Amino acid sequence: MAVKASLDVDVNVIYVGAKEGREVEGTSPAEGRRYRIGDLCQEFDVTTRTVRYYESCGILRPQRQGQQRIFDEGDRVRLRLALRGRRLGFSLAEVREMLDLYDQEGGEVAQLERTLAYGRQKIAELEERRREVEEALRELEAWQNLLTRRLEEARGSEIVGTRGGTKRGRA
């Protein structure tokens, strides 16, 4: 009779956080890199308050080790995409919707379709805003030209002196 033996071992592996060089314990290499809140803040130049806020909005979903938040590579990618989305003018609700679609079954197609739709909408909004800014610039330039002419006329009339033949300018 042959006897098979198996060995089940929990191995703690040390992962080094991004840029900061601090160590975070993980239980398996398959889990990938782990990051502390400070690692993400340093990498993306954001405050801990920003990261916590994104967590409270459901954009980030860190694990906990006691009081410490431990972020995985998925959280890191979500933070990078969320920051890009905010920079492009998307609301956090839109960002979260686009990111959450990816996690659903068949979500990549839905995510791409939704992101394209939001992108088209944002482009239309920005083009409209550009038209408004260009119109405002034209109005301001015309106003500046008018005021410049008036100032030149006012300075010229002070020097020439149009009232009763006396000069109003200073000597």
Structure-block tokens of residue 81: 């995409």
pTM above 0.75, yes or no: no
Give the residue from 35, 109, 31 showing the smallest Cα distance to 68.
35
Residues 6 or more apart in contact with residue 29 via CB below 8 angstroms? 13
Q: How far is it, in rounded angstroms, from Cα 158 to Cα 171?
A: 11
Q: Which of 116, 70, 128, 53 is nearest to 90 (CA)?
A: 116
The SS3 assignment for 25 reads strand
Q: Look at residue 9 in the predicted model and tell me its pLDDT.
A: 35
Residue 15: strand, helix, or coil: strand
Report domain extents, the chain. Answer: 13-89, 104-163
CATH class, range 13-89: mainly alpha
Angle made by CA atoms 135, 136, 139, in degrees to the nearest 5:
90
User: What is the pLDDT at residue 55?
Assistant: 94
Query: For residue range 26-77, what is the model confidence (pLDDT) as tens digits?
Result: 444 435 799 999 999 999 999 999 999 999 999 999 999 999 999 999 999 9
